[in-house]
Chain A
Amino acid sequence: MQQLRALLTVIRWDVVVEIKRRESTLNMSLFALLVLFIASYAMSDSRELLQAFGPIFYWVAIFFAGTVGLARAFLVEREGGAIHAMLVAPMDVSLYYIGKVIATWIYVMIMAGLVLLAYIVLFDFDDWSKLGRILATTACFVLVYVIVGVLLAAMTTSLRGGEVILRILLFPLMIPAVVVVYSANDGLFKTSALALESPAPFKAITVLLAMAAVYVSVCVVLFPKVVEE
């Protein structure tokens, strides 16, 4: 019960700090919205182009903007050394990792929600029946993304050039998840009766959840080693 209380404390106060700072969410959202705006402006002459390439820019925006949030995931604790006090608290170190994953997932999903809104407006998306499956796929993709990213952020935050190293390490590890969401793109974004019937999004969600389970099992074992002195 105490471990659950500690987990909720980590999540709650991470969100409180983010509400106070607004740095991660604001930075990520601005970056993602700019990507979408520039892409939609460049292709504004052709609705076909917008529909063909829009989904790719949707994932690109979330993927690249997310690294901004990940890079800041441990800055709050590193600043002033609060992480040391947290790591001598009677909380399972793996739970601390889980707490950071959940809190980071919340910020990245706020950004992803804004990206989806912008996508609807800028890319003339009007197939409302697909919103649920897009959101579910995005939530699962972001989950895999933060599970891997938070561990890498813990490894790289205190390094010189940590943000760059984080991206270099993160991208290859995320290739399988990117391939999965790309394979589901037609079923998620294309507006045809065939696309609506496509099982690809549901398969993608299943595969992403399986990936999340595998990654999280590995990361909870690795995290204590990463933060240990």
Chain B
Amino acid sequence: MSPAFLVENLWKKYGYRNALSGIDLEISAGDCLAILGPNGAGKSTLLRVLATRSSPTSGRVSVLGQDVSKRATQLREKIGVVFHEPCLRHDLSLIQNLQFFAGLYPDCRVDERALSLIETVGLADRQHDPVRDFSRGMMQRATLVRSLLHDPSIWLLDEPFTGLDPEGQRMLETLLVEEHQGGRTIVFVSHDVDQSLRVAKRVVVIDDGELRAEGEEAVRAHFGVSGGKENV
């Protein structure tokens, strides 16, 4: 079975600055991977490359065994992405946003599953309100629904816990665990070591554009943290 992602010697440069410096990473299908690292380490850049939003300066990225540089448009059907920004059209309601994005994916509709997702994230009674009126946390909940609307086999999330209240964070943790158990490949970027270790089956650290550590012990050692609640 092809891995969900195979990243080989990935470099990404912005001008003269290296955002990613020779990353090699394999993510198996059905895996749940957390990417940790300090601000500006290259986590979001890596996620954007995996999401096909950003193209590598050099190196190779394959999704489900297919080269992204050749089949990006087709592969996007399989990927759902939560970016750091809400990525919603502010003048439309949540339902209208979902109808809009559903139109961009094949055989995608705002059906019972989508309505049940809206219920799960706690926005059922606000689904017809303009997104412009939503708080940051509500937008984050709405964007979770948007990213899962087309039932992707891969779910990428960039700091998904940002803006969520404690209840929202618990909801998202549960959702991540359930989606992973349901067979979805999940890759998320986070700053919270303990939360990541609790949710993900695998953790890696990126620092200065390079893969620096992998596994719970190495990650804790890298950040010099013990078992308590820690942020990086």
- Residues of A that sit less than 8 Å from B by CB: 2, 5-6, 8-10, 12-13, 16-17, 20-21, 76-77, 79-82, 84-92, 228-229
B133 at interface (Cβ–Cβ under 8 A)? no
Q: Which residues of B contact A90 (CB under 8 A)?
A: 73-77, 104-106
Tell which of A17, A87, A92, A228 touches B92, judged by Cβ atoms closer than 8 Å. A17
Complex contact A76–B104 (CB within 8 A): no
- Residues of B that sit less than 8 Å from A by CB: 48, 51-55, 73-77, 79, 81, 83-92, 96, 99-101, 103-106, 131, 139, 146-147
Complex contact A88–B90 (CB within 8 A): no
Q: Which residues of B contact A85 (CB under 8 A)?
A: 81, 83, 87-88, 101, 146-147
**Given that A80-B86, A81-B87 are known contacts, is A88 also in contact with B100, CB under 8 Å in the complex?**
no
Nearest Cβ in chain A — how far from B52, in angstroms? 6
Q: Which residues of B contact A13 (CB under 8 A)?
A: 89, 92, 96, 99-100, 103
Q: Which residues of B contact A229 (CB under 8 A)?
A: 48, 53-55
Q: Which A-chain residue is minimally distant from B48 (CB atoms)?
A: A229
Complex contact A87–B105 (CB within 8 A): no
Max chain A C-beta neighbours (<10 A), residue from B96, B103, B146 = B103
Q: Which residues of B contact A86 (CB under 8 A)?
A: 104
Q: What are the 8 tightest A-B residue pairs by CB atom distance, in nearest-first order?
A: A9-B103, A81-B85, A85-B87, A89-B104, A229-B54, A90-B76, A2-B106, A90-B77
Complex contact B92–A16 (CB within 8 A): yes
**Given that A76-B91, A80-B89 are known contacts, is A87 also in contact with B53, CB under 8 Å in the complex?**
yes
- A17 vs B100: C-alpha distance in the bound complex, in angstroms? 11
Max chain B C-beta neighbours (<10 A), residue from A17, A21, A80, A81 = A80
Complex contact B88–A82 (CB within 8 A): yes
Complex contact A21–B91 (CB within 8 A): yes
Nearest Cβ in chain B — how far from A106, in angstroms? 17
Complex contact A6–B89 (CB within 8 A): no
Q: Which A-chain residue is minimally distant from B85 (CB atoms)?
A: A81
Q: Which B-chain residue is minimally distant from A18 (CB atoms)?
A: B91
- A80 vs B146: C-alpha distance in the bound complex, in angstroms? 14
